[in-house]
Amino acid sequence: MADRIDSNCTFQWVRVDRLTIPDEYQRARVESTIRKVREELDPDALGALLVSRRDDGTLAVIDGQQRHTGLVEQGYGDQQTKCLVYTGLSVGDEAALFVKFNKDRTSPRAMVIHNADVLAGDPIAVDLTEIAKARGLRFGEGTTPGVVQAVTTARDVYVHGSPIALRRTFDTIVRAWGTQPEALGGEIIRALGAIFSRYGRACDENRMARQLSKEPPAILLKLARVEHAERRGGTQGDGRIAGSVARMMLRHYNKGLPAAKRLEWDTTKTGAAWWKGDTR
């Protein structure tokens, strides 16, 4: 992408029905946003849509999908709307701009940002995808076997732990439980990632996988939630339980080991020290 991308951008009025929504990186419809556009429609207050004029003449909306959809559904397809039109962009460039304009907003889902990052060539996002793919997994939404929804957690393990910790985490999950959805949730990934990040090769992933395979992930999570509630004063809620999951994993791991080889979870560390200890 050019260092000064704004040099390839001009302000233009464009007919709404000439604009298209690219499926390479755009998110799904957000009905609440579209409904708000319809109910409070003021074309002059919508702001400019960010658009890419592709080599084939297609006008692809980079930012403003929900506003565009609201205009179309209110019958404004034959009207003109304000646009900032970029030229000379590749699809990857478009995706990078999409991420830039949306990453700090609360509306796009983490998976939308991840997919756009992959398309834009972000090295971490690309490596995350390759790590998952090499183990028969993929990042996505839904509860299909092999689908990892917890992309933010995986990225945390990769960045705050290490790429090796994430590889070992996915290897252990697949060896212990296969690709069942319950095993690919964020708390299990975070707990294993922290264990491998903290203990490194002192933790034998083959042993960890063998020990964990003796208990279904759903049962492990259920017991961890109970323990977490007890540690938090008896209130069962949606708070992070990865610390309790990690403790339970290490209890399984330590069974039958001499004291010198057991791994103990440090419950005193918090915040950024999660990857060297426990967050409660």
Q: CATH for 5-107? A: 3.90.1530.10
CA distance 138 to 148: 6
pLDDT digits (tens, 9 = 90+) for 95-139: 888 887 776 554 456 787 788 889 888 899 999 999 999 999 999
The pair of structure tokens assigned to 226 is 């109970």
**Contact between 22 and 91 (Cβ < 8 Å):** yes
pLDDT digits (tens, 9 = 90+) for 238-260: 346 788 899 999 999 999 999 99
Tell me how far CA of residue 117 lies from CA of 24, 108, 140, 150, 219, in angstroms. Answer: 11, 13, 14, 16, 35
User: Structure pTM?
Assistant: 0.65
Q: Which residue has the tokens 């790590």?
A: 131
Helix residue spans in 104-214 (DSSP H): 110-120, 123-133, 151-156, 163-177, 186-199, 205-212
